[in-house]
Amino acid sequence: MLKPGDDAPDFTAMTHQGEPLRLSSLRGRKVLLWFYPQAATPGCTAEGCSIRDQYSYFEEHGVVVLGVSFDSVEDNAAFARKFSFPFLLLCDTERKVGMAYGACASAKAAHAERISYVIDERGKILRAYPQVDPRIHAAEVLADLLSE
């Protein structure tokens, strides 16, 4: 995993809306980059819904929320639609983002590890979360941001 102070590797990934997104285009804003194993599974749904329910607080603190999985655009679009997610889901089907961030060890990994990062406005890792409880992760990140 990356550590606080490390440069956040830049990437371009397809969103669940079918548009490419480049991480560096978000410079000047904090980013919560949360990796999840698979769209619409119980833990991923709990985590996504928890972030959705706290989303106004992320917005208040200027944090862009990006979920990342190895799912297709179609599967992530259905996941976002079903649970009314107001944030983008990234479709890392080639596992390049996952490998760069330590969410998987190879391009053959079936699923991403459940890890997260907060990236600061300059593109540096501010916080790393190597173990995530999907039910409380959103609150944990917000508490950490408030303590900054």
Domains and CATH numbers, the chain: 12-146 (3.40.30.10)
Catalytic residue among 44, 49, 91, 104: 44
pTM, two decimals, is 0.97
44 noted as active-site residue? yes
pLDDT tens across 108-143, in order? Answer: 999 999 999 999 999 999 999 999 999 999 999 999
- Per DSSP, what are the bridge partners of residue 127? 118
Q: Cα separation of 107 and 141, whole Å?
A: 28
Q: Cα separation of 45 and 8, whole Å?
A: 26
Contact 40, 79 (CB under 8 A): yes
pLDDT tens across 62-98, in order? Answer: 999 999 999 999 999 999 999 999 999 999 999 999 9
